[in-house]
Each structure stands twice: as C-alpha cells, then as structure tokens.
Structure 1
Amino acid sequence: MMEILKALLPSICVGLLFWYVIRNILRADRNEREQVDKYYSEIDANEVDNNSESDVRMNATKTSDYEKSEHGKGNAPRSHG
C-alpha cells in the first residue's frame, strides 16, 4: 500500500498545484470583469446625469465614402508581417 502512495504522490501534488493555479486565474478574471463592469456602469451613470441637464441633441450624420468602402466594413484583407 505504501508503494502505491509513493508512486501517486507526485501526480497528486502536481494535480493540486494545477487546480490551485487555475482556480486563482479564474477568480482573478471574474474579479477583474466585475470591476470593469462597475467602472463602465459608473461612467454610463455619469453620462446620463450630464446629458439630461444639457441641451445636446444627437443627429444622424452622413456616411463617409471610407465607411462605405471595403476598408470601413473591416472586410479588407490584412497583411501580417
């Protein structure tokens, strides 16, 4: 029985280390996403407060030739080099 435990111990330790690292990466990602969402919601709330007090009107603008072209749509081939 002791020989089996000695043989499995390195694999168990590596598995626990892997689990710990992945768990911390996922927690950090979740916390960062929450902070980013909080930041952007605060910005949106400030913009709504500022826009409700001003007389700014949003008007549609004409589409430029660049936006109508292949480049404006993002369909142009890209060179990676």
Structure 2
Amino acid sequence: MRLSKLFAAAVAGLLVGACATMSPAERRSADETRCRSYGFRQGTDAFAKCLLDLDLDRAAARRSRFDYPYGFGGPGWRWGRPWW
C-alpha cells in the first residue's frame, strides 16, 4: 500500500513538473516577443543580438544558481550564506 502511494506521489510530481517547463519553441517565441517589445525588428542584426543577449542572460542565471559555493541556491538564500 505504501509503495502505491509513493508511486502516485511521484507521478503527480512529474506531471506538475512537466507542466511548468517551456519547450525550446515556446522559449524562442517568448524571446522574440520580448525583443519586439523592446522595439527591435525581426531579421535585423540588432534583433539577433537581443536574442543572443537573452540567451546569455539565461545561461548566466543558470550558472549562478548551480555553481554558488555557499549552500542552497544563489545569493539571497538564507541557509549557507556567510555571516561575516
């Protein structure tokens, strides 16, 4: 009985997690919409640079989340912060 409850909880967690992720096509569309809202026109070098900057910002945020050496998450988390 406990195993079936554990399995059901794991499946529910996976389903909720799957709903929260963006596909690469959705991410690209959101990035294009964001760059157009900044005033860049699609097909220009400035638009391509805007897309590149958004991707680089996302990669930097991912690195800072996973490579922070002082505990859970990055700066701003309570646990593991140096107190000096």
TM bracket (short chain): 0.3 to 0.5
Higher helix share: 1
Q: Max radius of gyration: which structure?
A: 1
Scaled by the length of structure 2, the TM-score of the pair is 0.39
Scaled by the length of structure 1, the TM-score of the pair is 0.40
